[in-house]
Structure 1
Amino acid sequence: MVPRVIFGRGSFNQLSDILAPKRLNINAPFIFLVDDVFKSNSWLTSRIPLSYDDKIIYISAAEEPKTSQVDDLVEEIILSNKERPSGIIGIGGGTLLDLAKAVSIMLTNEGEAKDYQGWDLVKNKAIYHVGIPTISGTGAEVSRTTVLTGPTRKLGINSDYTPFDQVVLDSELLKDVPNDQWFYTGMDCFIHCVESLQGTYINTFSQSYGEMALSLCKEVFLEDNLTSKESQEKLMMASWHGGMSIVYSQVGVAHAMSYGLSYLLGTKHGIGNCIVFDHLEEFYPEGVKLFKQMKSKHNVVLPQGICSKLSDKEFDTMIDIALDLEPLWENALGKNWKKTITRKKLKSLYIKM
């Protein structure tokens, strides 16, 4: 679990006080990995507390984070600083938060990021790292995984050393999120909850978080009387609770299949989950019914036919990526999931997309 969290509008202003005691010395900087959409946004960037050799690295979130990108960032940080950094601070959505977690791990572990894709492969504790989400829904701020696309697969670095040491939840940072991105990341949270609550890994601890997150998602995306401030705060807490739910259980069919879309087509995680989930009535009938209500209420039109021109070889690639995520399938369908999920079955589902 994340050991320290601050919640509240304006809490970003406490960042200097949070970081000061963690500075190792004046030659060990804090490195801020920041979504480049904020590059010209002085409202946020002017409040980042830079001292000594601290540095901001702006990163585009247009594509899903890659293992090679993590390796390049680690090399840049090592070569441009006298000492190992005092800490890594990720400011942005799920992509930036996952990159911050991965970089903090790879600064203390030998090899390449792709070597650690999987469960509990990390040997050494990461350096101090802080997560500050500027959009809510992915649960990346609380999860024990950092999802990366590698040379052969899309899979997280899932370990006890992955979670942030500190998280700052300031809902004011969500105020400029575009409507479509707001919906897609919010639905990522909603789908987390549906998959967790209906999964075979469910337990009372996970269930309590999942039910709260699901309830908050319904308020945000189905009620009409919420102010934007209320929606921002509720979705921020839904993301936190939804992330906690899957930390202690697992996701399911939508996530497994969306990884295939992401790896082959570069489909962003949130919208990929939505595209897949829209066709999963067979597995999550009530959840899909609610999803379609939310989609209609917010006038969201999902991309169609994204798999219509794929070759058999490309379908096989997506299927291989999806089937590699065995814990997700076991959570969704139990230990005998392979009797239900065949390559033919997965191809028929992908064809619908």
Structure 2
Amino acid sequence: MKYKNYPMVSRIIFGRGSFNQLGDILSTKRLNAKAPFIFLVDDVFKGNSWINSRIPIAYDDQLIYISANEEPKTSQVDEIVEQIILTHKERPSGIIGIGGGTILDLAKAVSIMITNKGEAKDYQGWDLVKNEAIYHVGVPTISGTGAEVSRTTVLTGPEKKLGINSDYTPFDQVILDPELTKDVPKDQWFYTGMDCYIHCIESLNGTYLNAFSQSYGEKAFELCKEIFVENNLSDEEAQDKLMMASWHGGMSIAYSQVGVAHAMSYGLSYLLGTKHGIGNCIVFNHLEEFYTEGVKLFKQMKKYHGITLPEGVCADLDDYQFDIMIDVALGLEPLWENAIGKNWKQVITRDKLKTLYQKM
């Protein structure tokens, strides 16, 4: 048997206020005065001096604000890369993503496409990237997606929603500063936190489970229970622990895989533009058949925190639209094999998926 040689983030800083060290870190990585750092920043921070005054811009560095209202697209990656190439004569010293999963995924994808020819859609899949990405740094400002640690960058392309999964995708440096998550709205906090929780459930109940993924998954699961069930933590403790849960949840799926909820939420996202966190929640809410205890606890957490999920999101869809979602979901074969086993195609039929989608 050949085992996966998994690339990990090589450098990590954790701590409240650690964002202030970004300038010192980048100063040793600058290639020259004309090779800029490109900062991709969630536009929710536009006008936020608490964040912006601490972004260490110098020389020809460029700050690009990006909306995270929609899921990241391959076309968006191509546009950012073209903008960088046309604006700067020299290859950038690095790409720095400051934001949630959308911004972090864009930063990873842009760093890859700076050094690889063609379009981002050409690299959607597993191990298609040929050349090493340029230096890239991730600074999460919300916790749960695991994008800061994963070897994938989830993108919606013209034909599918699928990540650029490669050994060159993980960040070279991550800064985990829980203070940056203090102003996240409650609904978004819950949906993104549940992305982490669902990572744990899908990993721990999957056929790909091994001691490596289990050790991280169990820790993330315990942290999620502390945060979302026991709920006796201070705000600062909850921020610290959710950032760690996100990291461990991401590590758990790194050496295994996600499952049914993610496969089906990709279909929702591709067709309807549903954001990843809430999409996972909408799907997971109906997956008792696959994750009985996990869904039961999820519904308790949802009720405890007063979260109401959208209903009827698929109510007005026609057969053609259902087929689009089903095609996207079925295209994610490793997820189904992890969730069901090698015989998954005998269990997961098109009619089965349509019936599940119709409940949502």
Name the TM-score class by shorter chain.
over 0.9
Q: AA paired with 2:62?
A: K
Q: Offset of 1:55 from its aligned partner?
A: 1.0
Structure 1 CA distance, aligned partners of 2:202 and 2:299? 16
Structure 1 CA distance, aligned partners of 2:129 and 2:221? 32
Q: AA paired with 2:301?
A: M
Runs of at least 5 residues in structure 2 that lack an aligned partner in the other structure: 1-7
| 1:310-342 CA-partner distances (Å, limit 9, x unpaired) | 000000000000000000000000000011000
| 1:284-319 CA-partner distances (Å, limit 9, x unpaired) | 000000100100000000000000000000000000
Tell me the equivalent position of 2:241.
234
Match 2:176 to one of 159, 162, 169: 169
Structure 2 CA distance, aligned partners of 1:32 and 1:293? 39
| Matching of residue 265 in structure 1 with residue 247 in structure 2 | no
Tell me the equivalent position of 2:58.
51
Match 1:256 to one of 246, 263, 266: 263
Identity over aligned pairs, percent? 80
- Secondary structure of 1:88's aligned partner: strand
| 1:111-144 CA-partner distances (Å, limit 9, x unpaired) | 0000000000000000000000000000000000
TM-score (norm 1): 1.00
Alignment of 1:80-159 (within 5 A): 80-159=87-166
Structure 1 CA distance, aligned partners of 2:46 and 2:16? 22
Tell me the equivalent position of 1:312.
319
Tell me the equivalent position of 1:302.
309
- Secondary structure of 2:41's aligned partner: strand
Q: AA paired with 1:43?
A: W
RMSD in angstroms over aligned alpha carbons? 0.4
Q: Offset of 1:101 from its aligned partner?
A: 0.0
Structure 1 CA distance, aligned partners of 2:17 and 2:302? 31
- Secondary structure of 1:287's aligned partner: helix
| Matching of residue 67 in structure 1 with residue 74 in structure 2 | yes
| Matching of residue 15 in structure 1 with residue 22 in structure 2 | yes
Tell me the equivalent position of 2:5.
none
Structure 1 CA distance, aligned partners of 2:346 and 2:352? 10
Q: Offset of 1:184 from its aligned partner?
A: 0.2
Q: Offset of 1:224 from its aligned partner?
A: 2.8
| Matching of residue 31 in structure 1 with residue 38 in structure 2 | yes
Alignment of 1:308-347 (within 5 A): 308-347=315-354
| Matching of residue 193 in structure 1 with residue 200 in structure 2 | yes
Runs of at least 5 residues in structure 1 that lack an aligned partner in the other structure: none
TM-score (norm 2): 0.98
Q: Offset of 1:82 from its aligned partner?
A: 1.5
Tell me the equivalent position of 1:350.
357
Match 1:222 to one of 202, 206, 229: 229
Structure 2 CA distance, aligned partners of 1:54 and 1:74? 15
Structure 1 CA distance, aligned partners of 2:39 and 2:284? 34
| Matching of residue 280 in structure 1 with residue 291 in structure 2 | no
Q: AA paired with 2:31?
A: L
| 1:203-256 CA-partner distances (Å, limit 9, x unpaired) | 100100000000000100011310000000000000000000000000000000
- Secondary structure of 1:156's aligned partner: strand
Q: AA paired with 2:122?
A: D
Aligned length in residues: 353
Q: AA paired with 1:91?
A: I
- Secondary structure of 2:320's aligned partner: helix
Structure 2 CA distance, aligned partners of 1:293 and 1:312? 33
Q: Offset of 1:40 from its aligned partner?
A: 1.1
Q: AA paired with 1:345?
A: K
Q: AA paired with 1:308?
A: A
Structure 1 CA distance, aligned partners of 2:320 and 2:343? 27
Structure 2 CA distance, aligned partners of 1:206 and 1:3? 19
- Secondary structure of 1:90's aligned partner: strand
Q: AA paired with 1:151?
A: P
- Secondary structure of 1:22's aligned partner: coil
